[in-house]
Amino acid sequence: MKNQTIVIIGANSEIAKALSQQIILDAKNHDNTQLIVISRDLTFYQQESFQQLHSACLNSINVKNYQEDEINLAVSKIDLIAMFEITKVIICHGLLHNIKLQPEKRLEDFSAEAFTQVLSANTITPMLWLKHLTPILSGKGSCKVVVFTARVGSISDNRLGGWYSYRASKAAMNMLLTSAAVELARRAKNIKLISFHPGTTDSPLSKPFQKNVPEGKLFTSEFVAKQLLTIVEDTLIDGKASYLDWQGKVIPW
């Protein structure tokens, strides 16, 4: 196992927590893996049970919000504390619903305020991380950057309609990643961008919609974490963005 630093952003989601635990388990008895987690809420990582579990070098960065100045400051901290080359960055941000908004079922449900909020969380924030991370990642060892999107962001795969804001935010993220990959193929050939669909995971994000999930298609966060880490390891750096599902299968853009 080579020396590596892995960064998880938006580390308070259920999948992010499972990823952190799996990375630590994989690194057990090794001193060459550093995990950096970034979140507005680090309670999970401060629990004694979690602290006792890890044998990897765990560092945490608390952010007040995901405004650009906070993101820029957090990236500066990453650059300062990273012990090894950063081999993986996993951006786990995502918003589907909250107390004030729900996915739209019809055109009449569309709201500019809700759309702006969803777009900010699912598209703008991950792109700001990519913007500020690129200078500290480029020109070094191989690095794979994963952004959580969703299958519903596929324009060609859209058969059901609805969910206007969520679909649009994920489709926009996919377009931004494909554009960024074109640029990075010229100036940062060591970086691979991956748009990842985790499937329907048993988490607060999917909870209101789980009754419609086919049997066997509701995944635990632990299962998704293992799948993702395997997929990232197996994906080649080829100067393109990849749009992959939890099986590692290509999703049409």
210-251 tens-digit pLDDT: 566 666 667 899 999 999 999 999 999 999 999 999 999 999
Q: Shortest CA distance to 67 belongs to which of 121, 136, 112?
A: 121
Indicate if the pLDDT at residue 203 is higher than 80: no
Cα 243 off chain centre by: 13
**Cα 198 from Cα 224, distance rounded (Å):** 6
**Cα 11 from Cα 221, distance rounded (Å):** 13
The arithmetic mean of pLDDT across residues 111-126, rounded, is 97
pLDDT computed for residue 8 by the predictor: 98
Indicate if the pLDDT at residue 206 is higher than 70: no
Instruction: Determine the Cα angle at 172 with ends 234 and 92, to 5°.
Output: 50
pLDDT computed for residue 215 by the predictor: 63
pLDDT computed for residue 172 by the predictor: 98
Indicate if the pLDDT at residue 1 is higher than 80: no
pLDDT computed for residue 245 by the predictor: 97
pLDDT computed for residue 55 by the predictor: 55
- Joined together, the tokens standing for residue 213 give 């999930």
Indicate if the pLDDT at residue 52 is higher than 80: no
- Joined together, the tokens standing for residue 184 give 């990075």
- 181 — pLDDT class (breaks 50, 70, 90): very high
Can you tell me which residue has the tokens 């650059």?
79
